[in-house]
Structure 1
Amino acid sequence: MTVTTPAEIDGLDGDPRITAEYGARPIYDRYDYVIIGAGTSGSVVAGRLIEDTDASVLVIEAGGTDQSRAVLDPLTWFSANIGTERDWQFVAEPSAHVNGRALTLPMGRLVGGGSSINAMIWARGHREDFDYWARVTGDDAWNYRNAVATYLRVEDFAGPADPVRRGSGGRIYVEPTPNASALANAFLEGCEAVGIPRFADANGVMMEGDGGAALANLRVKDGKRQNIPASYLWDHLGDPRLTVATGATVHRISIDRAKRATGVTVVIDGELRNITASTKIVLAAGAINTPKILMLSGIGRAQDLAPLGITIEADLQGVGQNFQDHILAAGCNWAFPDDNVQDPLNNGGEANFFWKSDSALDRPDLQPFVISYPYYTDTLQARHPAPPNGWAIAPGLVSPASRGQVRIASTDPEATPVVDAGFLQDPRDLEALTYCVDLCRDIGNSAPLRPFVKREVVPGPGRTGREKRDFARNSAWTYFHQSCTAKMGVDDMSVTDPRLNVYGIEGLCITDASVMPRVTTGNTMAPTVVIAERCADILTGKA
């Protein structure tokens, strides 16, 4: 397999006119709305505000353009973006629960955020995810029925017709993996061989019950990534009411004596600026930076902020707490036979399944992907070098019991937050992931996949229970689905109310994956769009 280097990819740009628009306008001192972050949720809210109101909108983005081929090429998403300037490059604290490893936590630092560097998977979530949100917030607006209504409105689904569940003609183009590889189809047959049913749509009826296997839904069109700005932001870049400031870093939110958020302190082109928001500040900086900005602004746990000399504006105990992420273990690996090497197609991860490690669970807790290239953590690679040509099934845990936290260690706005990710801290997660490893091995070694197997490289057969748990700890890695650090709800640990307004502070709302009370089942881009659409409806008076 020929691998294109990041330098080669960066030399092939997308539309330079879009990049030029990001920095085309002067930055004024006052706007109706200031949106912090041009990622998935920030792009949705900005686009909706421009469409549905006459407001002026400033979107502040720390990163740069999304018009590099590193972003637009679906197949190079991993090798060309993770660990580069398009990634915040966060790293969790070392933890004994993952054998002392410090796991990297990729998050997009560019226009589009995670939607610009992720695997382009459109996974809408399980019925129980949204009904749970409705229960814990006391607001039926968050239930599954209303989530489906949002999806019906925004989707343009190019797969099997399902007018009850899938939308057509909306702004968000979604397609089942096109021209899927022989490996991906054999993987689905392998799932059937171990009793996991196969479905035509990964986001239809399959996600209202016990799960199943399917080709992934992708945000790809005509061979190019469709990030969320492509659907919400690009068409409005010529509107003089919209300003997108890239390379701009927010230091803190300004709060007046009446406990109203009035503006932001931000560095733009090396200059520290104070910009006023006359109507609302929308915080959409992601599940690590959102609590960081809140804490630097005096919103958070008083016992943590006061020793740093930060004036307490709102003592909210939930800020930075409840950190959740999915685990995608890297992974169970096989070598291709010399006469049947398969090159990666599409995004390299074309098919997956959702399943339960325990039949008593209310929703699937497992989501492995087949990956058409070797997929290893550094720890496993050092012990079991990857073959020249190989493939993997990555065990995925998407309903974790473990919880972590995000905190700041200083008042320096440029300092990196401290993240205790909590991976595998709860013994139930280790048990579920170990079960998932065994299940993935059964699929990978099943009859439908034998034509693609020269040998199993890791973990291999005959391991004791202790060895299996050790493999799970050494292979555990993030799914890039950081969330839940500023949850909405009505209990003492809630940071926003069910309408996404920050408790105790007027004029400030949060609209990214931070507000999830519990992380959804599967990739989080699609549910984040649901959150942002709900926020836009609230801001525009439609809800």
Structure 2
Amino acid sequence: MTQQQYDYIVVGAGTAGCLLANRLSADPANRVLLIEAGGRDNYHWIHIPVGYLYCIDNPRTDWRFRTEPDQGLNGRSLLYPRGKTLGGCSSINGMLYMRGQARDYDGWADLTGDDAWRWENCLADFMKHEDHHRLDDGGDADAPHRDFHGHGGEWRVEKQRLSWQVLDDFATAAVEAGIPRTRDFNRGDNEGVDYFEVNQRAGWRWNTAKAFLRGVEKRDNLTLWHSTQVRGLEFATGEEDEPRCRGVKVERAGESVTATAHREVILSAGAIGSPHLLQLSGVGPADLLAEHDIPVVADLPGVGENLQDHLQIRSVYRLKGAKTLNTLANSLVGKAKIGLEYALKRSGPMSMAPSQLCAFTRSSEAYAHPNIEYHVQPLSLEAFGQPLHDFSAITASVCNLNPTSRGTVRIKSRDPRQAPAISPHYLSTPEDRQVAADSLRVTRRIAEQPAFAKYQPEEFKPGAQYQSDDDLARLAGDIGTTIFHPVGTAKMGRDDDPMAVVDSRLRVRGVRGLRVVDASIMPTITSGNTNSPTLMIAEKAAAWILASP
């Protein structure tokens, strides 16, 4: 077994890990090792926006997890994609730039007792790495924009390079239904309807490997090990009151290697990978570890608990006289036109994010803030990976932004290559079932507005015959699916919270020299897409790590 020595070891070259490696290695005195289980992001479908269709459920780019059969989904098991390549989930996700709501971060500050997490203190971290298209010309035409967005950072944000009349009309119908238009979802209150902004550059996906590793990967003090499986964490005991994480054990090119960290090991393996690795290494619920004969390093019952995700409920409307991707892409001529437009202009359907039009609103008057989000697409299909329907249609997916259901991630064996048991427990509370039923009614209200009436919309899924709360909640279980936002499985919290895994500065409780920096530390899920909030977390954590003695 060979050994390597570094100051910092970052496990996972995904959304958080790429930024951390960049920031920590900016000082040439810091020796940094970045470890990724997947390969390089040199697969062409990673970079063509519509290529997510070929990256999800592909062993080259995806861990290909599946959930346990879920009672809330009427016994169904879901594909649960997680990125397995440089850039992690930012290489296979929807490319949608969304921060959430100010109240999310204020809530984190209240839960942790640390004002560093308040919205006004997170905003600077979002802006630090941002490169927003509206400021390309100096932003003089939109002076208020400079108060909320950055320019010149690594994380590019652009307008989508497409438009669809059917989506424009759906947006107008949303306004008629009482949802205001907005120019910016990212100023702390995201209520409104507009097209998503995307993490692309000139029609290409902009993942975190491009943003934060390209150009710095050749630093003498930064070492990248890709295609390297971490088998467990290494601890030193007896020297201090608490065990210290001193490194990682990996399998690299068929060889067993131990890498040691003089200062810190940082887990950025995501909301599935980080708790899985902690549990394999003896950090987690003592009773679960005992089931698998794993010696307890730190009894932390919250590791793998508190799993939260956004469940999208996909309503499909069959239309008449509408141009949609169903009609455009179901012919050889149409496909040729799509390919040619992208080749010549980097625009059109091949530049599409998975969702194009967005809306945030309330599922009922009981909510003082937007609690549901729409992802609207000019297409429809039975399920991900299946062919488009042979009729014109749109899909209006709606998700509960603040689910009260909580799931788990738990090891199945001591073998690090065996996937953990992922149990989201969707729709397991009365509140979530009510929001599901009410949100489907909001979708119907939008579709009934005059701006959309010219298409004679017919509710294909779930079906207009279903009207009661019980019917709609059950149908939500039949057609709901993950929108790929798992968080919370190593949550931060106060010292008196027995389920908190890390403190407010993301240090693992009861263990020295170990932090978790990824979406798993969120105590509650953000009210929107989770990729860019994860970058904010990493930006904040990098400063804390570098400032540590």
Moved more, 228-237 or 517-526: 228-237
Q: Deviations over 1:229-248 (max 9, x none)?
A: 22211121111211211111
Instruction: After TM superposition, give the deviation of residue 451 of structure 1 in Å.
Output: 4.4
Q: Deviations over 1:189-244 (max 9, x none)?
A: 1210100001011212543xxx1212112001111000112221112111121121
- For the pair 1:241 / 2:241, whether they are aligned, the reply is no
Secondary structure in 2 aligned to 1:163? helix
Q: Identity percentage over the alignment?
A: 33
Instruction: After TM superposition, give the deviation of residue 464 of structure 1 in Å.
Output: 3.1
Moved more, 129-138 or 454-463: 454-463
**CA–CA distance in structure 2, aligned partners of residues 368 and 339 of structure 1:** 20
**CA–CA distance in structure 2, aligned partners of residues 138 and 236 of structure 1:** 36
Cα distance, 1:366–1:83 mapped onto 2, change above 3 Å: same
What's the counterpart of residue 222 of structure 1?
202
What's the counterpart of residue 103 of structure 2?
128
Name which of 279, 282, 295 aligns with 2:266. 282
What's the counterpart of residue 418 of structure 1?
421
Instruction: After TM superposition, give the deviation of residue 341 of structure 1 in Å.
Output: 3.7
Instruction: After TM superposition, give the deviation of residue 363 of structure 1 in Å.
Output: 3.7
Q: Deviations over 1:29-55 (max 9, x none)?
A: 111111100000001100111224521
**CA–CA distance in structure 2, aligned partners of residues 311 and 187 of structure 1:** 56
Letter in 2 for 1:103: L
Aligned residues of 1:340 and 1:451 also touching (Cα < 8 A): no
What's the counterpart of residue 68 of structure 1?
43
- For the pair 1:526 / 2:509, whether they are aligned, the reply is no
- For the pair 1:387 / 2:390, whether they are aligned, the reply is yes
Cα distance, 1:112–1:453 mapped onto 2, change above 3 Å: farther
Name which of 155, 160, 177 aligns with 1:172. 155
Secondary structure in 1 aligned to 2:146? coil
Secondary structure in 1 aligned to 2:482? coil
Aligned residues of 1:202 and 1:215 also touching (Cα < 8 A): no
- For the pair 1:430 / 2:433, whether they are aligned, the reply is yes
**CA–CA distance in structure 2, aligned partners of residues 127 and 277 of structure 1:** 36
**CA–CA distance in structure 1, aligned partners of residues 525 and 269 of structure 2:** 17
**CA–CA distance in structure 2, aligned partners of residues 493 and 356 of structure 1:** 30
- For the pair 1:199 / 2:182, whether they are aligned, the reply is yes
**CA–CA distance in structure 2, aligned partners of residues 321 and 504 of structure 1:** 18
Secondary structure in 1 aligned to 2:471? helix
Instruction: After TM superposition, give the deviation of residue 314 of structure 1 in Å.
Output: 0.4
Q: Deviations over 1:399-422 (max 9, x none)?
A: 100000111121111111011111
With the length of structure 1 as denominator, give the TM-score of the two structures: 0.89
With the length of structure 2 as denominator, give the TM-score of the two structures: 0.88
Letter in 1 for 2:357: A
Give the paired residue count: 509
Cα distance, 1:321–1:341 mapped onto 2, change above 3 Å: closer
Aligned residues of 2:323 and 2:392 also touching (Cα < 8 A): no
Instruction: After TM superposition, give the deviation of residue 521 of structure 1 in Å.
Output: 0.6
Secondary structure in 2 aligned to 1:122? coil
Instruction: After TM superposition, give the deviation of residue 298 of structure 1 in Å.
Output: 0.6
What's the counterpart of residue 234 of structure 2?
254
**CA–CA distance in structure 2, aligned partners of residues 139 and 123 of structure 1:** 23
**CA–CA distance in structure 1, aligned partners of residues 174 and 168 of structure 2:** 10
What's the counterpart of residue 63 of structure 2?
88
- For the pair 1:50 / 2:50, whether they are aligned, the reply is no
Instruction: After TM superposition, give the deviation of residue 276 of structure 1 in Å.
Output: 0.9
Instruction: After TM superposition, give the deviation of residue 348 of structure 1 in Å.
Output: 4.2
**CA–CA distance in structure 2, aligned partners of residues 128 and 262 of structure 1:** 37
- For the pair 1:304 / 2:282, whether they are aligned, the reply is no
Name which of 404, 408, 429 aligns with 1:405. 408
Cα distance, 1:437–1:375 mapped onto 2, change above 3 Å: farther
Cα distance, 1:28–1:240 mapped onto 2, change above 3 Å: farther
**CA–CA distance in structure 1, aligned partners of residues 354 and 502 of structure 2:** 38
**CA–CA distance in structure 1, aligned partners of residues 432 and 97 of structure 2:** 24
**CA–CA distance in structure 2, aligned partners of residues 229 and 511 of structure 1:** 17
**CA–CA distance in structure 2, aligned partners of residues 387 and 333 of structure 1:** 13
Letter in 2 for 1:80: Y
Moved more, 173-182 or 510-519: 173-182
Secondary structure in 1 aligned to 2:215? helix
Name which of 495, 503, 514 aligns with 2:520. 514
Q: CA RMSD in A?
A: 2.1
